[in-house]
Chain A
Amino acid sequence: MARVEINQGQRTIVTPRMRRSRLSLARREAMSGYIFILPAVLGFVLWTAGPMLYSAWMSLHEWNLMQPARYVGLANFRRMADDALFWKSLRVTLTYAILLVPLFQVVSLLAAMLLNVNVRGVSFFRAAFYLPTVVPVVAASFLWGWIFNPEFGLLNSYLRKLGLTKILWFQEPRWAMTAMIIMSLWTFGGTMVIYLAGLQGIPAHLYEAAEIDGAGAFRKFFTVTIPMMSPVIFFNFVLGMIGALQAFTQAYVITDGGPQNSTLFYTLYIFRKGFTDFQMGYASALAWVLFALVMVLSLLVFRSFGRRVYYEDDGR
């Protein structure tokens, strides 16, 4: 309760009477604080923490929503070991994330650097790059399904013009993932704008100092831009990874996980187990594995990047 004084850093002499009135002020502030955040905290309990616990309970049961749930212990988790589709979907999702996320960051950062130069029409370019991110994913999926159409799609037509053979984008397992990644890269604009905001926050004198030291463009990029941008890169990397692990709609709409399960994203697999097969227990167990995966991957990213992230002023 002495927080108020500490927080304000005041060192006035506090008489007992003043303290009492301060305390009650602090208490009143705390009370209103709790009231203000109440809806959000309730929401967290009702729609996140509660369901998570519920899901943990379900993962230990066999339940098809019709018959009562039956306790099966860890059987759902053991079952995964022999579930080829589980491993397949895990591999598909990880491949997608590992290929897409770094590529996404590179493209976004490079585009942001180009846009950070004050050329004519730069706001138009920025808008054009951002535009794909507002397209409904279902519409974008249809659109790319059509662009990747093997016979009459735009892409193969141009490949044919260049004298290349046509590619069966979504019909051949080895190309389907590539097509998914190309499609996802189209929406780099959101990440790019974050990078752009970060770039504009880098003080010009750092570049000038580097130039005085005789640094060229590459040197400046690696000794000024990258270190100064490291918190932003880190942030985008983590959020990009979580986004990639959630991929669902494009596969659901375009390929339904095919061909030969080459685009069976993990979320799609959970969806099928839950809402096609109504194996709520197994689906919950799968979801918990995804949760654990996100935790582990985030931790890995934190540990491999975290210490290298440069914070200019950690003014907390």
Chain B
Amino acid sequence: MAADLVNRNQELSAAAASRRRKLIRRGERALIWVVLLLLTVIMLVPFGWMASTALKERAQIFTYPPEWVPDPVLWSNLHEALTLFPFGTFVRNTLLIAGFNIVGVVLTSSLAAYGFARLRFPGRDVIFMILLSTLMLPFAVLMIPRYVQFRELGWLDSWLPLIVPNWFGGSVFYIFLLRQFFRTIPRELSDAAKLDGASEFRIYWQIVLPLAKPALAVVAIFVFLDSWNDFLAPLIYISSPSKYTVSLGLSLFMGNYTTQWAYLMAASTVMTLPTIALFIAAQRYFVRGVVLTGVKG
């Protein structure tokens, strides 16, 4: 179903684009372009304001009307903000957690997705629906019992609560995404291998996974962003600052430093840059991920 959809989308959008291009007159398109430009400015202004504040001198921050260009440009703000707290440690911690999570989710969610997409067994669809329904479960419902659970396991103030669940499929979202993709891989490929006596695991590992690299990249990117941006879970489970993640580290600015806008914005800018860089580098994967999951969700 998803395969048809993706293929058909491409054919249709190509045909549709050429026909609709004629339908929409030039004036309308110019107008749309102007509206889009305006909206873009609105969307990007906060980024500009963040970066501009980050490099300003204290006196220039508190001016009216606001000045956009920092004068002088205080690059030293960046260094000072990031040494107020050990951000190097936070980044290293987060990268470690993200690394474990990426491997765990990619491996276990693709296993499950393979089972749901390409194997037949009694109860398959029911089990899948039950798993899928957890997408509708707010984390707030689980945070209290999970906290107690991890406390009894003696995992509090370690990274285990942030990592281990991701080695059990992670979010169903990823299983769903990969399942959609696996269903687009022609069955003939695996049937041929099966006739040659290949086991299911070998088909999964040597045929399906290599073909699914783009989808796995999508999952890896989303898992990285989740690990980098997640706040509530680290907030609950981790108490020693030496084990903090980036988002948790940023929150240390709350209270004492909330009026130090330059430092606050400097740290926020630097911690946002990796996610923006990742997005720019991997833009097409983001779009693909959305197409795989969103349409006909």
Q: A residues engaging B (CB < 8 A)?
A: 3-4, 7, 26, 29-37, 39-44, 46-48, 50-52, 54-55, 58, 65, 111, 114-115, 117-122, 124-125, 127-132, 134-139, 142-147, 149, 151-152, 154, 157, 160-161, 186, 189-190, 193-194, 197-198, 200-204, 207-208, 211, 231-232, 235-236, 238-239, 242, 245-246, 248-249, 252-253, 266-267, 270-271, 274-275, 280, 283-284, 287-288, 290-291, 294, 298, 315-316
Q: B127 touches which one: A41, A128, A291 (CB < 8 A)? A: A41
| Chain A residue, CB-CB nearest to B53 | A146
Main secondary structure of the interface of B (DSSP, over half): helix
Task: Give the distance to chain B from A239, nearest Cβ to Cβ, in Å.
Answer: 8
Known: A43-B108, A275-B236. A235 touches B294 (CB 8 A): yes
- Mark out the residues of chain B between 212 and 240 whose CB falls within 8 Å of any chain A CB in the assembled complex: 225, 228-229, 231-232, 235-236
Which of B35, B141, B199 has the largest number of chain A CB atoms within 10 A? B141
- Distance (Å) between the CB of A55 and the closest chain B CB? 4
The answer to whether B137 touches A294, judged by C-beta atoms less than 8 angstroms apart, is: yes
Minimum CB–CB distance from B269 to chain A (whole Å) comes to: 8
Closest 3 CB pairs of A and B: A43-B168, A36-B115, A40-B169
Least CB distance from A292 to B in Å reads 10
Does the CB pair A146–B127 fall under 8 Å?
no
Contact of B141 among A35, A55, A236, A298 (CB under 8 A): A55
Number of A-B contacts (CB under 8 A): 329
The answer on a CB contact under 8 Å between B250 and A65 is no
B33 to A, closest residue via Cβ: A119
> Binary interface profile of B, 132-151, with partner A (CB < 8 Å = 1, else 0)?
00111111111111111101
Contact of A201 among B8, B112, B116, B286 (CB under 8 A): B8
Interfacial chain A residues near B264, Cβ < 8 Å: 142, 146
CA distance A200 to B14 in the complex (A): 9
Kindly report which residue of chain B lies nearest to residue A122, judged by CB atoms: B36
Residue among B53, B127, B169, B246 with max Cβ neighbours from chain A (10 Å)? B169
A70 to chain B, nearest CB (A): 15
Q: Please report the C-alpha to C-alpha distance between residue A26 and residue B1 in the assembled complex, in whole angstroms.
A: 23
Check A58/B121 contact, CB under 8 A, given A139-B250, A198-B294, A253-B251.
no
Q: Are B62 and A32 in contact (CB under 8 A)?
A: no
Contacts A131-B43, A131-B279, A316-B1 supplied; 13 other A-B pairs, CB < 8 Å = A4-B120, A33-B124, A34-B121, A40-B131, A46-B165, A52-B145, A129-B40, A204-B19, A204-B20, A231-B296, A245-B138, A274-B144, A290-B141
User: Is the pair A152, B64 in contact by a Cβ cutoff of 8 Å?
Assistant: yes
Which of these, A52, A114, A122, A157, contacts B65 with CB under 8 Å? A157
Cross-interface CB contact of B112 among A37, A50, A190, cutoff 8 Å: A37
Name the prevailing secondary structure of the A interface residues.
helix
How many whole Å from B278's CB to the nearest CB in chain A? 7
The answer to whether B200 and A32 touch across the interface, beta carbons within 8 angstroms, is: yes
Give, as a whole number of angstroms, the nearest-CB distance from A205 to chain B: 9
Cα–Cα distance between A226 and B251 once the two chains are bound (Å): 42
Closest residue on chain A to residue B15 by CB atoms: A204
**B75 at the A interface (CB under 8 A):** no
- Quick check: A201 and B12 within 8 Å, CB to CB? yes
Q: Which residues of B have CB within 8 Å of A274?
A: 143-144, 147
Chain B contacts for A34, CB-based, 8 A: 115, 121
Known: A29-B200, A40-B168, A43-B165. A197 touches B295 (CB 8 A): yes
Shortest Cβ distance from B167 into A: residue? A39
Asked whether B247 lies within 8 Å of A138 as measured between CB atoms, the reply is: yes
In the complex, chain A residues whose CB is within 8 Å of the CB of B120 = 3-4, 7, 26, 29-30, 33
> Residue on A with the closest CB to B42?
A186
Interface centre among B15, B127, B276 (most CB of A within 10 A): B127
Q: Chain B: interface residue count, which band?
A: 35 or more
A131: chain B residues within 8 A (beta carbon): 43-44, 47, 276, 279
Q: How far is the CB of A256 from chain B (nearest CB, A)?
A: 9
User: Using Cβ atoms and an 8 Å threshold, which residues of chain A touch B278?
Assistant: 134
CB B255 to nearest CB in A, in angstroms, measures 10
**Closest partner residue, chain B, to A149 (CB atom):** B261
Known: A29-B119, A51-B142. A201 touches B137 (CB 8 A): no
14 residue pairs of the A-B complex, CB under 8 angstroms, read A7-B120, A36-B111, A36-B114, A47-B142, A47-B146, A48-B142, A117-B20, A118-B21, A128-B43, A129-B43, A134-B275, A136-B250, A200-B13, A294-B136
Q: Is B46's CB within 8 Å of the partner chain A?
A: yes
- List of A residues within 8 angstroms of B46 by Cβ: 132, 143-144, 147, 186
Q: In the complex, which of the residues B44, B119, B200, B225 has the most CB atoms of chain A within 10 Å of its own CB atom?
A: B119
CA distance A197 to B67 in the complex (A): 39
Measured CA separation A286–B104 after assembly (Å): 32
B277 to A, closest residue via Cβ? A134
CB <8 Å contact, A201 and B114:
no
Partner of B121, one of A30, A42, A47: A30
B47 touches A139 (CB 8 A): no
Contacting pair A117 B140 (CB below 8 A): no
Decide: B144 and A284 in contact? CB cutoff 8 A.
yes
Chain B residues, Cβ within 8 Å of A55 = 141-142, 144-145
